[in-house]
Structure 1
Amino acid sequence: MTMNICVIGTGYVGLVSGTCFSDIGNNVTCVDLDERKIKMLEDGEIPIYEPGLKELVAKNVQAGRLSFTTDLAKGMKDAEVVFIAVGTPPKENGEADLTYIKSVANSIGEHLEKYVVVVTKSTVPVGTGKMIKDIIKSKSAVEFDVASNPEFLREGSAIYDTQNMDRAVIGVESKRAGDLLTKLHEPFNTEVVLTNIETAEMIKYASNAFLATKISFINEIANICEQVDADVTEVAKGMGLDPRIGEKFLQAGIGYGGSCFPKDTRAIIQIAEQANYDFKIVKSVEDVNNAQRLRLVDKLAKALGSLKGKHIGVFGLAFKPNTDDMRDAPSIDIIKEIRNQGATVLAYDPVASENAKTMIDQLQVSEDLYGTVKDADAVLILTEWDEVKGLDLTKVKEMMRGHVIVDGRNVFDLDTVKQLGFYYDSIGRRVVNNN
């Protein structure tokens, strides 16, 4: 069954979701007020970095199933489902800013001509669906339904995650809306979790808060391991084999970043406070995460004695591999603190350098992988890109002035770096000291 779908917002969620919906045979119009982005998309350019997305967009545009416009009336004209996929950035207190959501809801109401299901794909606080319904009703007497269908995409593997989704959470008020959205997701051959809107909204926040908790937990374990001569990688392996725990999100490192976990943990704390509940666990998760990234600076200062006058080569700027996303990336705080302590930094990232320059003042970047470490007193690993994992460490050693590697992602084998004569400090493992 082919559906006509309108997706409002061509950011990460909207563009990936809209493209994947078109790829299963639907007619999708993506709408955005940003004329520059729409022009880019019409010209075959992609405003975000996501592996495979450019090719998938081109395929479905060529097939006539995917189009882009700034005209909401045009996008909604024949639509049966309208997805809202605009940003909900955090306010200073951590609460989600619903300015764009409210604006879109007003516009939908003004252009509503026939029954549609209006679906929130953006991550929004519990109760937002009701708010959207009230706004649209204030603008139009036409029948419609609202629903919640939160996304669970991982940057860097978003297309795979959509085409092989482990569940589709659908929050609805009516059987009509539930049947339509269930039918839309049938080609993905996934388990549909059909619930009310408020529950669907909470599932998104609860999922991300739990995953963030796993990350902070294993980082706490790593910090203990360093004090008792245990190896966190082996601890995580032993834990992960327990099916009640699972191996995912048990990789010790410098903490989480990106567009979801930091924003969503802050937001669920605010949701709890508005419900007169003190969410102590997630508050601690945030505290651990914020402190974890700066432990790497302490490791660096310990290895070098002082950072003043030192030159540091940094591998990785994005918060994770296969994305250019710098939102809440640990590298921002780490590099700023290194420079505050008097060191200079030259950084390499295969795709995020330009975005990083907008987040870190006067950032010096290298376009040459090995040139990054030339005459460096120490090397810092912040993102485990394939290029970084595949480094020729012998060549790195030859080009460096010093011999210190501080690894925030546990990329290298301890015996290997020992044989090559490095001082190597990673996360939750013993320090290799060849001094």
Structure 2
Amino acid sequence: MQAPVSPRAVARPRFGVNYTPTQGWFHHWLDFDLDEVRRDFDALAELGLDHVRLFAVWPYFQPNRGLIRPRAVAQLLAMIQAAGERGLDCSVDALQGHLSSFDFLPAWVKTWHGRNLFTDPDVIEGQSRYLRELASAISAEPNVLGMSLGNEFSQFASAIHPERNPATMPEADHWLRTMLEACEAGAPGLAHCHSEYDSAFFDGRHPFTPAGTARNGTMSTVHSWIFNGTAQRYGGMSQQSFRLAEYLIEVARGWAVDPGRAIWLQEIGAPAPHVGAQDAAEFSTRALEYALDCEGLWGVTWWCSHDVSGELLDFPSLEYTLGLLGNDQRLKPEGSAFAAAIQRSATAPAPAPRHTALLLDVGPEPEAPGRGTCAPGGEFFDAWMSLAIAGERPTVLLASQAHDQSQLEARGITAVVQPSDVSSAHLPIR
């Protein structure tokens, strides 16, 4: 087992999975079976992984604002210990939140007790206490890396959410800082993060901003999903799809103030039907190859460990087959590709600095109202991809940092390119 260390001290990227139990999916907390968990972890350890991301489903752990269930916490500790026995470190997501299209919220924030998840003082107090107590409970385990606030929790504030919890950008920022402070209070010095999906980088309406994502918490996290419009526009096996994770890593790097800030590719997968079963291994190999060519990458965590059982109903079809292993523990082609990437990484040279930066100007910071240019089909997206396909290995530089010589030198940037100066006419569009 690798002892948890500062993200800035990691010489090589780490490899892990988002753990999806084979029995009962995340409902396994209702019928917790540690022997089943151990069997799942045995299969994961055989792949050469070094960490797992665990999901404490919020309403199962805090069904009432005044009740954090001791038995649920004890079960989480048992899971962490089982992982440690197999050489696996653990990051724990707590405000769960949102998983594979399903939302999990406790009754004390819904219907007759409906309160805003991001702005109501009582809700914020309850969330903070839950995070603080859970962080404190797990902090003594030697294989705990830290906490994540929740899986894409900010989607509840999205303009497209059917039961939106609106928040202004200052309110979202205050919520984010308050939650991270609770994690730090419970487990000082561990790696505490928050997990955003790409709307924070792509949607100018979203109250969670690129600056908030890249400047709060121990390190930045990115979730790379080609069904965000990339596969639909360019094709699932296009260069744009292969390079989406690489692109998001560099966008996150561009928004950071600290040029040495670590970045965690916290989710990546090969979703059907955008990637056919016959192409899953090639997609995985190529996407990982590009992502691993990025400096400062803390780790890669595949979504997810195991396929979802077909006995569970009403998931979007793509969610059933995202595992490295089948629900029967069978290693899938993408699992073999992931294991091979781990082996190659062990002897690969460190990524070289990226000397060419594409200039990103999306309006006032931190609001970034022009974020849409970064989304698939946007001018910035296409310009970055054009440079990458031409072999330039581009990074991203904010317009506000363009004349900061110390920033340029720290990142090794020697050439700055405007998106309007890059031809993207040759990029295929479906």
* TM-score normalised by L of structure 2: 0.27
Higher relative contact order (CA 8 A, sep 6+): 2
The normalised TM-score by structure 1 is: 0.26
Which structure has the greater CA radius of gyration?
Answer: 1
